[in-house]
A = this chain, B = another copy of it.
Amino acid sequence: MENRHISGILEEMTVEDVERLDPNLALVPIGSTEPHGPALPYGTDSFSVEAKCYESIKRANFRGARAICLPVQKISLNNNFYGLRFACRISVPVFMSMVRDIVRFLEGEGIKRILIANSHGGNTDVLKAVLRDMAGEKGIFLGLLPPGPALPASSGLLGKVLEQPIPAGGEHGGEWETSNMLFLKPGLVRKDRIGVYPVNHPKIDSLEECLVTHVKPWHLHLPASAGGDSRKASSEKARAIFEEGVEAWAGLLEELSKAPESATFPF
């Protein structure tokens, strides 16, 4: 047993693995189950975040981190998808309470550094609101990782490998997501349905000029539930992006886990 490497993937560990790892950092992956157009499966976001988190945490722990990864939350927020079918959703207040409860559970386990890894764009604002809500809890660091390819700020990779910039053009179910599923779950991609799907925009010009935030009814924005041109998607593109992203996240987990305790962390 001594020699077995402990992954940090909680659902695959035993109670004795947990005791040996003695985690001080937790990663909370949040996906979604919702339409991704004619070519991609409903689970696209969940598959994506699970793969990236599980691989990152294994690498970080191999390098000495003490990080643990919860299982993926696969049902989250999609109430702007009411015009499309079976976009799984719970209400915003309940989702927030659920995430808050998970954070409090982790606090109860003695974890003071918590990262939420969210792969679904519809969750981002609400997760930031949870961060605000818990900002008064002293002594806990709670961070949120961005959805999408989520490459490091300094990376130039996306511009090199993708034809379609993100988000404009490389929309939901677009080139990157299609590449990613071709890489992670090729058996679930309907290759014959990869194509170009329309992207609609509001007609009131001053909304954009005045930087007004609003939530788009998805069936008006992307009637096919995916948008953009994915015909240049490939497994190879996703592999390169995945590898660079996982390395960055593994480094983050390692740095956070190894940083000394401090009352003013991360300042």
List A residues at the B interface (Cβ < 8 Å): 1, 10-16, 18-19, 23, 33, 35-43, 46-47, 68, 70-75, 77, 79-80, 82, 84-86, 88-94, 96-98, 101-102, 105, 108-109, 115, 122, 125-126, 128-133, 135-136, 138, 141-146, 150, 152-154, 188, 190, 192-193, 200-217, 220-221, 224-225, 248-249, 251-252, 255-256, 259, 264, 266-267
Given contacts A11-B42, A13-B41, A132-B125, contact A90 B98 (CB under 8 A): yes
Say yes or no: A153 contacts B251, CB within 8 Å.
Answer: no
Q: Tell me how far the C-beta of A200 lies from the nearest C-beta in chain B, rounded to whole angstroms.
A: 6
Say yes or no: A133 contacts B252, CB within 8 Å.
Answer: no
Total copies of the chain: 6
- List the B side residues contacting A190 at CB < 8 Å: 1, 14, 16
Say yes or no: A94 contacts B90, CB within 8 Å.
Answer: no
Say yes or no: B86 contacts A10, CB within 8 Å.
Answer: yes
Given contacts A10-B88, A73-B75, A215-B135, contact A152 B105 (CB under 8 A): no
Say yes or no: B202 contacts A92, CB within 8 Å.
Answer: no
Say yes or no: A89 contacts B71, CB within 8 Å.
Answer: no
Set B82, B150, B264: member contacting A138, Cβ < 8 A: B82
A-B contact pairs, 24 of them (CB 8 A): A11-B43, A13-B42, A15-B37, A15-B38, A18-B86, A46-B71, A72-B74, A85-B109, A90-B105, A115-B212, A125-B125, A125-B128, A128-B129, A128-B213, A129-B129, A131-B213, A143-B207, A143-B213, A145-B210, A152-B210, A153-B210, A204-B255, A204-B259, A210-B248
CA of A15 to CA of B227 in the docked complex: distance in angstroms? 13
Set B79, B128, B193, B203: member contacting A267, Cβ < 8 A: B203
CA of A181 to CA of B144 in the docked complex: distance in angstroms? 34
Q: Tell me how far the C-beta of A153 lies from the nearest C-beta in chain B, rounded to whole angstroms.
A: 5
- List the B side residues contacting A16 at CB < 8 Å: 38, 190, 193
Q: Tell me how far the C-beta of A133 lies from the nearest C-beta in chain B, rounded to whole angstroms.
A: 4
